[in-house]
Each structure stands twice: as structure tokens, then as C-alpha cells.
Amino acid sequence: MVPLVLDWLIPDQTCDDAKKNRTTYLCQENSNCTDADNGNGYQCHCLEGFRGNPYLQNGCQDINECVTSQPCSGICTNLRGTYKCSCPVGYEGDGRNDGKGCTLIIHEKRFRSTDVILGVSISFLLILLGVSWLYWGLRQRKISRQREFFLENGGRLMLQRLLSEHEGSVESVRIFTDEELKKATDHYHESRILGQGGQGTVYRGVLPNNTVVAIKKAKILDRSQVENFVNELIILSQINHRNVVKLIGCCFETEVPLLVYEFVTNGTLSDHIHKCGHESTLSWMARLRIAGETVGALSYLHYDASTQILHRDIKSTNILLDENYTAKVSDFGASRLVPLDRMQLTTLVQGTLGYLDPEYFHSSQLTEKSDVYSFGVVLAELLTGLRALSFERAENERNLSMYFASAIKGERLLEIIDLRVLNEGNPEEIKKVAVLASRCLRVKGEDRPTMKEVATELEGLMRVMYRHPWVNQSCDLEEAEHLLSERSRKCDGILKSTASGNDYSTSNQVPFEIESGR
């Protein structure tokens, strides 16, 4: 007897030819085609992981290896055509019988790694906290030392000086607490900011008696800020002039210096000259009056104060206007006291571009003529309505002082004068004021007039103007009624001198009585 072997093939076609015609191709799903070894044809075989009849629909069925062969020592998961081995929790390996299998994880090793990671994290946090604590401690120590420096080398000496020099003559500067000023400014809320500059931020504050004040807070706490703080405090404590912003008090308790001033309600001169597309809200007569009040205050600082004071930063943004449009000179942080035996001071150049005296800029020699130059720029602003420095203008017109001097030299003055000034002013009067401004703007300080001479010339010019019939005819101008209090202003042509050195206290000063120009 011999074994009988029955073999099958699909004749007369190869696999590649059979696959081209899917309707006659006999291999079903989960099967594969191979060319026959025993003749011209092809045979069908189930894919690996499947078994059954490849010629029947659904004839090749998935083999569950997890049941039939048990290939895993761990967890076996049957998949279509294959299987997956894995290890249970707490074990490691590939979970296969023919591989690494599954071995128990040593818990001590796992816990040791976790402890290392936890220890490193806790150590890092402790180091971070230690560094933060050290930084905070050093910062507080620095602040404490600086505050102590301020009190010992500025604050107490300044207070002693105030009490000894002014006791019985002026009201003492009030010393505010930190809590009082925090409450007045709603803890220095952003909505209370009036303005910001190089030296600090100014806040609007309301005291318990409903008095509105301006509180100046320095940006950073360093020696220069403390010196500027004490400097401004000492200078303002010696000034009693209606056209200089009044210092109400100060605070020694805070990290940064604080000064408290009277609140001037109507903004800066710069606002009124340059706002609304360069259309000024100030009449010609009003501009002259503001110029006269400003130069009167500066003349007082130069010649009538107990010690000569050089402002060093005169500009239209440092001239404030109150509700009656009365000028108030402000910001004395950069100012300097000049001893009686000195004509000039050698200082680090400080000021604002466009207003800065070129001679002072090149020599560092600060004199009273440096303030005269800066006031000349302000006077040119009042005449032209142009900013002291603007890169929006042509290159030869960017610097107002040079542009102004060039216009006068070329007899083109009236071309650059503000339209409102031209419409309201007498051309001869305008030219006289312009010539005075050009003299203030001369390059050499010795060629400029003194502040007292400027004040005298402006005063004389204004007296002539107030006696002119044109002024009397404009007493009923609607603008005058708008800008002046109807109760206290009458058109009688009275002019209060701003250059005199006699009546500078607030109680004795009489406002200008000018209807046509406010």
C-alpha cells in the first residue's frame, strides 16, 4: 500500500494573470495566491494567523493563538491575524514564552528613584526660597539705609532750616504720612495719574478736607532722586510768589520721595498753545499777560529771592495755568541755588532739547542767561504757535529758535506768526515782542538781556498796549467774558507789574485787570 496525495490547482493561469480579472479570481479574503509547483496554474493559501478553505467565502478564519498555542507567559491578547503578549502590573519583560517572559519588579529600586526625584525637587525649592528671602532682605536693608541717608542728610537738616529761616513769616511745610497720601490717591491708582516725566509721576490727590493736590512721586530710589527731592523742597520753601506753584508739603516715610503741591487746574501752557491741531485757545493779549507773569516770576528768582535761583528747565510744559489762566512756574527739581559770590556754576548739562542754551550745552557753565535763552524759546512759541522742536517740520525749521532768528533776519517774521496773533495784534507791537525774543535767543550769553531787563521791556510794552484805544474798544469781547471772572474783572486798563520785586505774596498780589486779553 502507498499513501495517496490529492493536490489542487487552478489551471492555465498564473497568479498575476488571475488577479487581473477579479470576477474569475478564486482566492477569497484573508488568503494569498501562489503559482503552483506541479503544473501550469495557481493555488490559494490562508494568510498566516488564519486557517480554513481559501476558496470559500469567509473560509479563512482567525486563529486564536492565546487558546491554541498559549505563546505568552504573561497576559495574551488575541489580535486579528496575530496576538500580543504583555506583563501584569508589578512585572517587567516581553511576556513571551520564547522571550524574556515576565519578572517581578524590585520595589526598593522603584521607590529609591522616586525618592531621588522628590529630594532634588524639594532641594531646588528650598534653594529658590532661600535666594528670594536673601534678595528681599538685602533690598529692604538697602531701602532702609537709603531712607536713613535721606532723613539724616537731607530731611531733618532741611526741616531745621525751614523752621529757623521762615518761622513766623510763612506757613510751615506740612509733613504727610504714607497712609495719608495713599488714601488721597486711591493707592496711586492709574486713573489718578496727571502726567509722567523724567523725574517721576504726578498724581491727583484729594485730602480729607476735600483740598485737591498734585503729588509728585519719584520713579526710582537712588541718591540723585533724593538730592533732587531735597533740592526742590529747599528751593520751593524759600519762594513765596503768586506765579510759582506752591509747595504744600512732603512725605519722608515712603521708599521714594514725595512732594505735595497745590493743584493747578487748567493744564500747561504747551497744551493751550499746541492742542487742537495747533489752533491756540489763547488770545494775543492773554499770551502777553502769561509771558509777563512768567518773566516776572523768573526775575524774582534771579534777583529778589534770598539766594539767586536758576530754574534750568524753563519750557512751556513747566508753565501751568490755573482756572483764571494765571501762569504758575513749576518743576524745580533741576534748579540750582547760586551763592552770592558766584556768577556761574559748572554743572552736568541738564535741560530739554529745543530749550537748552547752546552756550551752556557746550561749556557746562550755567548762568542766569541760560534761563533767559529758554524763556526766549517760550516767547517764540507764544508768537508762532510752533513747538520748540519738531521733526515733522522741514529740516531748516525743526529747531524753533534757529527758524525764528532766520525769519527775523530775512524779514519774514509775519510769515511764521500765529494767525490769531496776527488778527488780534498790532504789527508793530508783535515785531517789538519778536525782537525781544530774538535778543533772548542770541548764541552768546553776554549778548542777551537779563531777566529783569526782559521783564521791564515787556511791562513797558504792555502798559502802552493797555492805553491804546484799540484795547478799550474790545472790552466787550465774548472771549474776555469767557476767560475772566465777571465778578472781579472790569475794563479799566489796570496793569499789575510782574517785574516788581515788592508784592509777591499771594495775599498782596492783585491779578491783571485786562478785559480784552483776559
Catalytic residue among 313, 331, 357, 371: 313
User: What separation, in Å, do the N-terminal and C-terminal C-alpha atoms of the chain show?
Assistant: 141
Residues with Cβ within 8 Å of 320's Cβ and at least 6 positions away in sequence, in order, are 245, 264, 266, 267, 268, 269, 327, 328, 329, 330
CA of 497: how far to CAs of 118, 245, 478, in Å? 82, 19, 26
439: how many CB neighbours lie within 10 A of its CB? 16
Residues with Cβ within 8 Å of 401's Cβ and at least 6 positions away in sequence, in order, are 354, 373, 376, 377, 380, 388, 441
DSSP readout, 137-182? HHHHHHHHHHHHHHIIIIIHHHHHHHHHHHTTTSPPPEEE-HHHHH
Residues with Cβ within 8 Å of 118's Cβ and at least 6 positions away in sequence, in order, are none
Known catalytic residue at 331: no
The conformation of residue 445, written as its DSSP 8-state character, comes to G
Residues with Cβ within 8 Å of 26's Cβ and at least 6 positions away in sequence, in order, are 10, 18, 44, 55
53: how many CB neighbours lie within 10 A of its CB? 14
How many angstroms separate the CA atoms of 360 and 311, rounded?
Answer: 13
Compute the chain's Rg from CA coordinates.
46
Cell representation of residue 304: 529778589
The candidate with the shortest Cα–Cα distance to 81, out of 44, 50, 58, 45, is 50
Whether residue 462 contacts residue 435, with contact meaning beta carbons closer than 8 Å, is answered with no
Amino acid at 114: T
Residues annotated catalytic, as ranges: 313
